[in-house]
A and B are shown apart, each in its own frame.
Chain A
Amino acid sequence: MTDLASTASVHPAAPRFRHGTIEAALGAALLLAWLIAAVGAGVFAPYDPNALDLVAMLAPPDGVHWFGTDHLGRDVFSRVIYGARIDIWMGFAGVIAPLVVGVTVGLIAGYFGGLTDTILMRILDITVAFPFFILVIAIVGVLGPGLVNYIIALALVAWVAYARLVRAEVLVVKRLEYVQAARALGFSDFVIILRHVLPNVLGSITIYAWTDAVMVILAGASLGFLGLGAQPPTAEWGVMIADGQPYVLQAWWICLFPGIAMVTLSLGFILVSDGLSRRLRVSS
């Protein structure tokens, strides 16, 4: 039994700092800060985000209005805080919807192969052939402006990246002997896909999803800017930037602060993604 004795200590004690831990922690801290701000917006925001104060229109940042006010006299700080609710929700929903569609398609196409694979991949090719953002705008245009329709459009368009990633990984994993073993043990395809294939392809998907969130938030803000995303007077960062755009020379603060908010939230997502990918790379 030498193979038992000599390798009894293969399991390493968890080291204090693994690769990528610092990035991941920093990113998580940023995201957590924004999450707290969003959840506690009612407590942190000094003003109602939609309350007009026509006397204090375009007031620069000072002790009363920390981030100044916009052209309708609304408090920019309060609107940035409330805006976090919309943008964070958008980030998560806009990732999860295409992720679910894409992972399902990728699993089915990769695992079953053959004609199923061919049909699904041709549909994917057709979707990819359209410019991404224009297709999203077209779908939102048909369905009508609004955040929910934006998420639906993403589910219809952005799934392709997930489907490709998952399919490629499934093609590798399904050749591995533990999947063969599961088949030899007589498990159903459903069980094999769900229990033995899916958990082992989730790693790279997770990393991609965190970076994708940034794209979703930025694209959502762009839609808001175009008037196709969140609708005024909703406090959403893209809409706020659009609102402030005519006044950007006199009142820079209307655009700047929601812009900074967007950058820090995106940075949070990117850092988490980076940290996770480093950790995964090291451990595998």
Chain B
Amino acid sequence: MSLVSVQGLSVTFPSEKGPVAAVRNVSFDLKPGEILGIVGESGSGKSVTCRALLGLLPRRATIGGRMIYDGRDLSGPAEIQAVRGREISMIFQNPASHLDPLMTIGDHVAEPLRFHFGLSAAEARAEALKLLESVRIRDAASRMDAWPHQLSGGMKQRVLIASALACKPRLLLADEPTTALDVTVQAGILQLLRDLNRESGLTMALVSHDLGVIAEICDRVIVMRGGEVIESGPVRDVVTNPQHEYTRLLIGAQPGRLPQMAEPQEAPAGLVDLKDVAVHFPTRSGGGIVRAVDGVNLSVRKGECFGIVGESGSGKSTVARTIVRLITPTGGRVMFEGKSVADLSGADLTAYRRAVQMVFQSPFDSLNPRMTAQQTIAEPIWRHGLASKSAAMERALELMDMVELPRSFATRRPRALSGGQCQRVGIARALALSPRLLIADEVTSALDVTVQAQILRLLTRLRKEHDLTVIYISHDLTVVRKFCDRVAVFQGGRLVETGATADLFASPSTEYTRDLIAAAPDMDQAMAERA
């Protein structure tokens, strides 16, 4: 008998254009002790489905269908309230925003115990300590009185899991629990979830956009798109033998399945050289300094695709901004074709600005919301006096062709474009000045995998056609492995290791790189390991 049975669930939101169906006729069962993965891209309805189970949707949502938990019909708010927190718990994507900054860690975990079981403060505290230990928080006793802001992202997620597990629920809903975390931290959380499932038979529904994550710990998976379930089955069957065309597309777009796009060449001349570059900031409180980047030496060669990987806070973006001269280094020098970038001024600086361009991480924030796609792409051309305004607008259309953006989108503003389309506009704008070096800073990390695959293909094509040198910054090792000729690994503001991509992945020379490679979720690898 199944623990949860969802039958014909539908969720509709009112909008100015009339009702919008976020979830349509979704049915699935959860057997006790299994981990069900719900995978889909943005807007697929996976999170809404998960929240409907716990009655966490906004009031204006209309919910249809039946949800049965352990023989009980969860059709009304009272029925849901009876199981919420006690039998069904949930953890969320952003642990930081789901912890009350004015409550200590211990109180967070003790609160549900006092509320649901009426334990005394001392009893609840003792129980909370055990829970924190069970989610493998080191030195839990001394962390009990810590505040959320004193913990790292991974620790916060562990606290959230502990408080979700406080009442020994039978079902845990996890909505993208590791998406906001670094890969090494993600690996730890996934391991914890797997252990909880094995040791205490906790049933789980794991919502994720990442098939790699799903493949690591789920038994069965349902694939959602546009509010509907298009395929479901055991993870192995779905991955090895997908039935639906979209599932095949999704699997083919996994970074691990992408074709090898890098083509290492024989060492040509250097284009950008960083010599002992350091960027230090004073800390907020004054006093100390933050070493965002420290003692970095590296050389990017003409025509290559150079990857910079690292976790959050590793200084990889700061390096990029230093090369573009958005940040002035506090020590060392950035050399471009043998000239020190910091010394450039006047016409030389303008020439440098043209030669080095950057594409940014956030598809929407990197475009001025008040300008159309065409205006955005044309602006650098006429501002640099390379063409008249009308000729620049004409040229912008050609650039749109180049990045495979239909000309009919020319008059659209960012809000009327999708993430992938915005990113194409950003790339076209960067190419408008015919740069020789293109810096791409996490350009695909906010995009769905299928869109990511398209953008990577586009960048590869442009790189060949325009003889571009590319610096590709990413936290995703699997993408870098497919896309870059050489890689530099950053950690805590320092360059840990650098080398040809194939060599570095085959035989990493530092432990950190080894951990990073091992932690990167990869669908095929996960399946192989579970076999």
Contact = CB atoms under 8 A, between A and B. Distances in A.
A34 B242 CA distance: 69
Contact of B454 (A3, A182, A186, A199): A3
Interface residues of A, number: 28
B383 A191 contact: yes
Given A187-B383, A196-B368, A3 B16 contact: no
Interface string A164-205: 000000000000111011111111000100011001100000
Given A4-B421, A7-B418, A10-B417, A183 B326 contact: yes
Interface stretch (A11-19, A135-143, A241-249): A11-19
Given A11-B412, A185-B353, A177 B383 contact: no
Nearest to A199: B370
B357 interface: yes
B416 A11 contact: yes
B370 A184 contact: no
Nearest to A188: B383
Contacts of B350: 186
A177 B416 contact: no
Contact of A3 (B367, B421, B426): B421
Which among A3, A180, A195, A196 has the greatest number of chain B C-beta atoms within 10 A?
A3
A12 B16 contact: yes
A178 B406 contact: no
B16 A15 contact: yes
B361 A4 contact: no
Interface in B318-367: 321, 324, 326, 349-350, 353-354, 356-358, 360-362, 365-367
Interface in B277-333: 321, 324, 326
Given A7-B421, A185-B357, A185-B429, A178 B366 contact: yes
A186 B354 contact: yes
A3 to B, nearest CB: 4
Interface string A113-157: 000000000000000000000000000000000000000000000
Nearest to A183: B326
A250 interface: no
Interface string B427-449: 00100010000000000000010
A51 interface: no
B396 to A, nearest CB: 14
A177 B421 contact: no
Contacts of B368: 178, 182, 195-196, 199-200
A10 B360 contact: no
B202 to A, nearest CB: 36
A184 B326 contact: yes
Contacts of B421: 3-4, 7
A181 B365 CA distance: 10
Nearest to B360: A177
Contacts of B360: 177, 180-181
A281 B433 CA distance: 36
Contacts of A195: 368
B156 to A, nearest CB: 24
9 contacts: A2-B454, A10-B417, A15-B17, A178-B368, A180-B366, A184-B357, A185-B353, A196-B368, A199-B370
Given A7-B421, A177-B366, A187-B383, 12 more contacts: A3-B419, A3-B451, A7-B418, A10-B417, A12-B16, A12-B17, A13-B17, A177-B362, A182-B368, A185-B380, A187-B380, A195-B368
